Structure 1
Amino acid sequence: MIFIYHDFGGTHTTSMAAAIHLRLLPDREWTDEEILGIPDFNQLKKKDAGHLFFKGTDHDGHDVYTIGKRSSKYVLPAMKDVSKMLLSRYDRDGKIIFSNTSPVVPPVMTAGGFFARGLGLDAIGVPLLLRGAKQCREYLEKLVEETKRNAYEPHAGQIMDLENKYYQYKKGKKL
């Protein structure tokens, strides 16, 4: 099984989701240092869009990847087609799960990403990103939990595309 977490930039919530999936973060509120220590968190650039980043193998032996799509509506359909081709040709029993982390992004994180990655103003962007990461932690933990659960559903197909709209961040809303 392969898990691919995706969103616009591929460097914030996708990296956080992969770290949660791989059990790299504690099951409590995270410190700023723990967030900044997440592999690729706030490190990727525009040129990295459309590239898969291997994050590790989970405790069940499944590979975990991330990708940033930017504004391209073609990246995911192309990846799904390639996945179908590879599964039918080489691994008839495999599964590939695409899980969208965009719905959990709070506005403060969007602003932080714009300042930090878009404008290169880390002094403004990073504090906003840290605040956003803390705001959406619970949503992201639930999203990852649900992604794993869906992957094992007996009715699930070989290619799953989880939009995760029910985890949309809403200020003040507790899960």
Structure 2
Amino acid sequence: MIFIYNCFWGTHSSSLASAIHLNKLPFDRITTKEEILKTDYFNKLSYKDMGRVIYRGIDEEGNKVFTLGRGSSKVLLPCLENLISVFHNECNLKEIDFIGVHLLLIGSQQAYQHIVKVVKQTKETAKTTKEPVLVLNNRPLG
């Protein structure tokens, strides 16, 4: 199976989700600010990277994990199923100042448990589906 985690920029929550999925960040505790800053691509992508599918690694089940910055596109999410099928078949963020990064880290830590829930839900759903392509719209969990 192929996993594509997506968010607006493709550099914050999707970077954290892919790192959690690949066991590079913990499931059982809120990560530290230092761990967040060391996460691949976290706060390192720019506007020109939006729409770019970025390979993040292979998980423990042998599945490929990618991320994608989708922006405010209303057409990209419906197209994800086709994009995954193709794979299956064969604001400049660098300019955020210190205060902005500090607030970004606080927000990331506050959202961390939700991101862990999304990753767990995604992995569990993948284990039980028989569909070759599955697009999950991981809205806030209760």
Q: Under a length normalisation based on structure 1, what TM-score does the superposition of the two structures give?
A: 0.73
Q: TM-score, normalised by structure 2?
A: 0.88
Equivalence for 2:104: 129
**Who is 2:77 aligned against?**
76
Q: Does 1:146 align with 2:121?
A: yes
CA RMSD of aligned residues (A): 2.1
Q: Secondary structure at the match of 1:6?
A: strand
In 2, Cα distance between equivalents of 1:3 and 1:24: 16
The structure, 1 or 2, with the larger RCO (C-alpha pairs under 8 Å, 6+ apart) is 2
Q: Rg larger in 1 or in 2?
A: 1
- SS of 1:65's partner is strand
Give the Å deviation of 1:85: 5.0
Instruction: Report the residue type matching 2:45 in the other structure.
Output: L
Matched, 1:160 2:134: yes
The answer for unaligned runs of 5 or more in structure 2 is: none
Cα deviation for residue 7 of structure 1 reads 1.1
| Structure 1 residues 123 and 146, CA gap change in structure 2 (3 angstroms) | same
Aligned-partner residue type, residue 157 of structure 1: E
Q: Which amino acid aligns with 2:111?
A: C
Task: Please name the residue that 1:101 is paired with.
Answer: none
**Which residue does 1:52 correspond to in 2?**
53
Q: Deviations over 1:8-60 (max 9, x none)?
A: 11000000000000000133222111010000000000000000011110111
Structure 1: tracts of 5 or more residues without a match: 92-113, 168-174
- Inter-CA distance 28–77: structure 2 relative to 1 (3 Å threshold): same
Q: Which amino acid aligns with 2:117?
A: K
3-state SS of 2:4 partner: strand
Aligned residues: 141
Partner residue in 2 for 1:25: 25
Residue type at the aligned position of 2:6? H
Match in the other structure for 2:93: 117
